[in-house]
């Protein structure tokens, strides 16, 4: 907008210079030409400003709607819709550059008991606090999203099996020692998997989900790899 305005001003003054010095006009004609030039410039400038503002507002609205569509309204984390996009990109990068990553599903143990005993408002507070506890432990290259209900998903970039086992065990212990207010103590079960060359979006999620199922079957408050 700024550059367009400068260009228009330069053209306007060149035009004025031309009709005053190069092709001189009578005073009445000169004044009339000046009037119409400034009028055209003013209308053009106002029109360009309105159009730019309208386009900018439309762009911002689109961006805001995009963020909202990808965000869980309770925890503020990215949601499952965003997960599909992120995982697709991670898998493509793995196949092209061999950038290994892990997907971990985290489930709050016996979360239904929280809602049944204390009500859904307290249950929501536990979910928000759990999200905050997990966020404290992730690196800038990792991704944390709400998978749905009482489940979260973590994507760890550039890791080995040993790395993820250590990270997830530390997370499990951290949650176990955390005080969740009126609920006091809660634990989590974690199932994780590493990407392989044959993976697609659903296969890696399915494998992580099976690992989580194994963790629940083994007594909960533990980590399982598949």
Lowest mean per-residue pLDDT among 40-49, 93-102, 105-114: 40-49
- Percent of the chain residues past pLDDT 90, beyond the cut: 60
Task: Report the mean per-residue pLDDT for the chain.
Answer: 83
Query: pTM above the 0.85 mark?
Result: no
**Which two structure tokens, joined as six digits, stand for 146?**
């709400």
What would the pLDDT profile of 121-153 be if each residue is shown by its tens digit? Answer: 999 999 999 999 999 988 888 999 999 899 999
More confident residue, 138 or 177: 177
**What are the residue ranges spanned by the domains of the chain?**
2-69, 80-225
Q: How far apart are CA 36 and CA 176, in angstroms?
A: 77
What would the pLDDT profile of 5-27 be if each residue is shown by its tens digit? Answer: 555 555 555 555 555 555 555 55
Q: Name which of 103, 126, 139 is nearest 212 in CA terms.
A: 103
Look at residue 50 in the predicted model and tell me its pLDDT: 62
Look at residue 71 in the predicted model and tell me its pLDDT: 86
Q: Is 150 a catalytic residue?
A: yes
Q: How far apart are CA 202 and CA 219, in angstroms?
A: 26
Q: Which of 62-76, 139-153, 162-176 has the highest mean pLDDT?
A: 162-176
CA atoms within 13 A on the CB side of 70: 13
Q: How far apart are CA 181 and CA 170, in angstroms?
A: 21
**Which two structure tokens, joined as six digits, stand for 1?**
């907008």
Among candidate residues 150, 151, 162, 197, the one labeled active-site is 150
- Domain boundaries 80-225, corresponding CATH code: 3.30.70.270
What would the pLDDT profile of 179-219 be if each residue is shown by its tens digit? Answer: 999 999 999 999 999 999 899 999 999 999 999 999 999 99
Look at residue 26 in the predicted model and tell me its pLDDT: 57
């Amino acid at each position: 907008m700024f550059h367009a305005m400068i260009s228009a001003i330069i053209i306007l003054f060149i035009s004025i210079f031309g009709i005053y010095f190069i092709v001189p006009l009578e005073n009445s004609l000169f004044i009339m030409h000046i009037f119409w030039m400034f009028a055209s410039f003013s209308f053009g400038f106002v029109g360009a400003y309105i159009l730019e503002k309208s386009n900018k507002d439309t762009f911002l609205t689109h961006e805001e709607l995009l963020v909202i569509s990808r965000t869980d309204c309770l925890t503020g984390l990215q949601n499952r819709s965003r997960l599909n996009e992120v995982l697709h990109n991670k898998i493509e990068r793995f196949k092209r550059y061999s950038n290994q990553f892990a997907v971990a599903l985290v489930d709050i143990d016996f979360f239904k008991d929280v809602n049944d005993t204390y009500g859904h408002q307290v249950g929501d507070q536990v979910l928000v606090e759990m999200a905050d506890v997990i966020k404290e432990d992730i690196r800038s290259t990792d991704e944390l999203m709400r998978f749905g209900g009482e489940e979260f998903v973590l994507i760890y970039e550039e890791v080995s099996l040993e790395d993820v086992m250590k990270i997830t065990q530390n997370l499990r212990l951290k949650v176990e020692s955390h005080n969740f207010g009126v609920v006091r103590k809660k634990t989590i079960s974690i199932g994780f998997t590493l990407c392989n060359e044959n993976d697609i979006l659903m296969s890696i999620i399915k494998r992580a989900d099976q690992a989580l199922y194994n963790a629940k079957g083994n007594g909960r408050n533990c980590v399982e790899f598949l």
